[in-house]
């Protein structure tokens, strides 16, 4: 299936930084709802489990499309590799229920505080309860796209042991204005729907929502009264 590309990648990056929304419609004639922004179209992705098909969106309650980042899964001792959202969707088979997708930048002081807090307290508290984590380092000190070396510097600075990546396609900029860093989104790994989108530093709100979500039985779990 084909999707028309109306702008170049370089122009798309510039428009995204200005907060201009970019849309490319799904090619399924019968599909309704939010359009996908993926120029590759709406094909499902198989990473051990079929990825939910489009339509995709950028708001709470809408499914997030698959995207591929580049980084390390567990600190500097792990190899640099492509890491996509489909691999998180497949983690349901290992008991994971939600993903916290964090977006940070070197110029953002609250982002640095969040990195410390996540490593020291949030990841240890919630990973055993079925929450996965992914931190996207979007920009360097000059607000240029982060490089592999910058990702490694971020990991080293905060001694991070959870996945940290860069975003070569500026995918995450469709969800918010990067000037409003940080961004944290909670994603349901069963449906890949955005449960919560928090723009600005408010990890307490994120953990409160996680506590509420985790108090509910997983989708498809037998009822306690049954």
Write out pLDDT tens, residues 43-101: 545 445 589 998 999 999 999 999 999 999 999 999 999 999 999 999 999 999 999 99
Tell me the helices (H) and strands (E) count for the chain, helix number first: 6, 7
| Cα separation, 119 vs 127, whole angstroms | 11
203 belongs to a structural domain: yes
What values do phi and psi take at 150, rounded to 5? -70, -40
225 belongs to a structural domain: no
1 belongs to a structural domain: no
35 falls in which pLDDT band (50, 70, 90)? very low
pLDDT tens per residue, range 190-203: 999 999 999 999 99
| Cα separation, 42 vs 60, whole angstroms | 19
> Under DSSP, is residue 66 helix (H, G, I), strand (E, B) or coil?
coil
pLDDT surpasses 90 at 13: no
- Please give the DSSP secondary-structure letter assigned to residue 206: H
Structure tokens at 64: 């997030």
Mean predicted confidence (pLDDT) in 124-131 = 98
- Please give the DSSP secondary-structure letter assigned to residue 1: -
Which single residue is written with the structure tokens 């709802």? 33
193 belongs to a structural domain: yes
pTM as predicted: 0.78
User: Alpha carbon of 81 to those of 70, 84, 117, 136: distances in Å?
Assistant: 6, 10, 25, 14
Give the CATH number, domain containing residue 163. Answer: 3.40.30.10
Q: What is the Cα 139 distance to its own chain's centre?
A: 15
194 belongs to a structural domain: yes
pLDDT tens per residue, range 215-226: 998 876 655 554
Looking at residue 15, its pLDDT comes to 38
Q: What is the CA radius of gyration of the chain?
A: 17
Boundaries of domain holding 24? 9-214
Q: Judging by DSSP bridges, how do beta strands 131-139 and 98-105 pair with one another?
A: parallel
For the chain, what percent of residues have pLDDT higher than 70?
75
2 belongs to a structural domain: no
Closest of 134, 130, 90 to residue 217, by C-alpha: 130
Looking at residue 30, its pLDDT comes to 31
Structure tokens at 99: 């993903």
114 - beta bridge partners? Answer: none
How many structural domains comprise the chain?
Answer: 1
| Cα separation, 84 vs 76, whole angstroms | 19
Looking at residue 50, its pLDDT comes to 85
93 belongs to a structural domain: yes
107 belongs to a structural domain: yes
């Amino acid at each position: 299936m084909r999707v028309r590309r109306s702008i170049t990648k370089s122009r798309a990056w510039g428009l995204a930084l200005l907060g201009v929304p970019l849309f490319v419609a799904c090619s399924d004639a019968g599909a309704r709802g939010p359009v996908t922004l993926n120029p590759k179209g709406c094909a499902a992705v198989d990473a051990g489990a079929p990825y939910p098909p489009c339509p995709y969106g950028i708001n709470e309650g809408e499914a997030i499309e698959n995207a591929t980042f580049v980084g390390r899964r567990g600190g500097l001792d792990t190899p640099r590799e492509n890491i996509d959202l489909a691999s998180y969707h497949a983690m349901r088979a290992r008991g994971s229920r939600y993903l916290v997708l964090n977006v940070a930048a070197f110029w953002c002081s609250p982002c640095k505080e969040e990195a410390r807090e996540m490593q020291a307290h949030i990841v240890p508290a919630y990973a055993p309860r079925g929450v996965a984590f992914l931190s996207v380092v979007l920009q360097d000190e000059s607000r240029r796209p982060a490089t592999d070396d910058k990702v490694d510097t971020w990991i080293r600075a905060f001694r991070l042991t959870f996945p940290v990546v860069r975003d070569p396609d500026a995918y995450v900029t469709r969800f918010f204005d990067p000037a409003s860093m940080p961004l944290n989104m909670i994603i349901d790994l069963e449906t890949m729907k955005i449960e919560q989108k928090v723009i600005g530093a408010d990890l307490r709100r994120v953990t409160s929502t996680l506590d509420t979500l985790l108090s509910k039985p997983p989708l498809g779990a037998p009822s306690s009264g049954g």
